[in-house]
């Protein structure tokens, strides 16, 4: 385990904001091999920037690592730091993806934010760095469109 990791093997507290969250990026153990990594956060929460009410989403992050991977405990703490963060769905979803790309520099990344209804309307937000590389197996994100309680 690298001494440069802040969370893995250490006691960690929940960051107060996404900006204060520190993400850890260990070396890719399979550098030189193209493979897809998927993280799913089915209980993501943030706050509406207008009303202060909680918003809920199912977040799916897919990426093709290059030199580093994102460590899962640090990612969990980062995503959890949004629970008191007021931002629109678009800002949360795209901001998560852009931060991972800026810091980890994967070969490819996509994020899907499947948000539960606000004002009676679900809002789904999708962002990716470009077309997936040829030959990379990219399965469907597996989140059904919102259908209500029927």
Cite the active site residues.
48, 55
CA 76, 104, 144, 90 torsion: positive or negative? positive
* 70 vs 106: CA distance, rounded Å: 10
Partners of 38 in the beta sheet?
62
Helix runs in 21-120, H state only: 72-80, 89-104
- Strand (E) or helix (H) holding 47: strand 37-47
**Of 72, 60, 59, which is closest to residue 115 (Cα–Cα)?**
59
Helix (H, G, I), strand (E, B) or coil at 9: coil
Q: How many residues does the chain have?
A: 150
Do 66 and 105 contact (CB within 8 A), yes or no? yes
């Amino acid at each position: 385990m690298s001494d440069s990791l802040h969370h893995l093997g250490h006691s960690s507290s929940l960051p107060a904001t996404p900006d204060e969250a520190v993400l850890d990026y260990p070396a890719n153990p399979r550098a030189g091999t193209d493979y897809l990594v998927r993280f799913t956060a089915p209980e993501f929460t943030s706050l509406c920037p207008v009303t202060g009410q909680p918003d809920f989403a199912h977040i799916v992050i897919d990426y093709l690592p290059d030199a580093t991977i994102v460590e899962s405990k640090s990612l969990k703490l980062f995503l959890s730091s949004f629970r008191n963060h007021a931002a629109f769905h678009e800002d949360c979803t795209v901001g998560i993806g852009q931060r991972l790309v800026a810091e980890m520099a994967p070969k490819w990344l996509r994020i899907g934010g499947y948000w539960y209804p606000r004002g009676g309307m679900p809002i789904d937000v999708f962002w990716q760095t470009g077309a997936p590389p040829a030959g990379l197996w990219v399965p469907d994100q597996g989140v059904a469109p919102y259908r209500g309680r029927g």
